[in-house]
Homo-oligomer: A and B are copies of this chain.
Amino acid sequence: MREAIALQQATCTGIDLRKGKNMPSLKGRHFITEQEWTKDEIDLALELSTELKERKKRGEITDWLKNQTVFMIFFEQSTRTRNSMGCGITQLGGNSHDLTPDKMQLTHGETAKDTAIVLSRMGHAIACRNCFYNVGNKYLRDLAEYSTIPVLSLQDDIYHPMQVMADLMTIQEKFGKNLKGLKVTISWAYAESHAKPLSVPQSQILLFTRYGMDVTVAAPPEFPLMPDIVEQAKDNAEENGGSLRFSDNMDDGFKGAQVVIPKNWGGFAGLSEWVDDDNHKLRMKANLLKHKDWICDARRMGLAAKDVKYMHALPADRGKEVTDEVIDDDKHSIIYDEAENRLHTAKAIMALTMGGR
């Protein structure tokens, strides 16, 4: 135990991690869902995120992962995730190696097992985004089974732990550390731009309830979240004094909310990801088109609390999910702080998990 802390302190030079006392070292730990990290561990990561944010502002060099490599395997596009990881590891003195599937030999008989073991022998973490429905999380779990270095999720079909860490950090910056009773609404919104997985709202309801927030999920009945995730989130709420309620009305969801996070899940292109046959696909498209009015606009923002904050993981489908007026209103919209915190939280997660023996 003591050595674990010593190691953490030795690696993160100058950081006082005493709060982490009596915690096992996080070196080598996977980060596939924040649900598997204790609240103490998440708090430690958030504290380190804030520390790293301040150090960056002061222009300090933080060579904590000097010459170390994080592999990044992206099965889907990414801007914020790629950049937060890439800049993050650079700022920590290491490097990222981009392994897009076309560069790898995934079509040449390469299994997750072989990939995990070989990368473990060479570098220091495997970060992966794989959002294919019913595949992504399983792939990450396969990697983790065989990897001796941390496997870090960059989003899968169920969870997006990196995003939700940045969300929580941003909410704490605006509302303080004690979030008990904060009214947060996660709303479905209409979009056409591309497939948006369930992972963001799911990780949000899981984590926010653990911090005692009063969470509302507003969505049309045709776009439910996964039942076992909902059950887990209810348990989280019960254990931590938060609450979780559902509404099928966007206006209702917005009423009195202090934070609103309206975002599509299950969009046009995304249909192919979680349906089995073409008939189903057509039904889903018809379902989607019924809800073009699920947009976050000024009128709906008016239903929320006076100082309501608008959040979005970006990229937003402007004019569909949200009006320009709302997303560009700096008084309420905190999307850029949210995006920036992707950097600091990613750095914290890497600094805590990487670099072990």
Contact = CB atoms under 8 A, between A and B. Distances in A.
Contacts of A74: 103
Interface residues of A, number: 61
Contact of A317 (B63, B109, B122): B109
A193 B336 CA distance: 42
Interface of A: 57, 59, 61-63, 66-69, 71, 74, 77-80, 82-84, 86-87, 90-95, 97-100, 102-105, 107-111, 114-115, 117-119, 121-123, 193-194, 314-318, 336, 339-340, 342-343, 355, 357
A77 B67 CA distance: 25
A10 to B, nearest CB: 11
Given A67-B61, A79-B115, A83-B123, A95 B90 contact: yes
Given A83-B122, A119-B83, A122-B84, A77 B97 contact: no
Contacts of A87: 69, 97, 122-123
B343 A121 contact: yes
Given A109-B316, A315-B110, A86 B69 contact: yes
A316 to B, nearest CB: 6
29 contacts: A59-B357, A62-B67, A63-B67, A67-B91, A69-B86, A69-B90, A74-B103, A77-B105, A79-B99, A79-B105, A79-B115, A79-B118, A82-B97, A82-B103, A83-B97, A83-B99, A83-B118, A83-B119, A83-B123, A90-B95, A100-B103, A105-B194, A108-B194, A109-B193, A110-B315, A117-B339, A121-B336, A121-B343, A122-B342
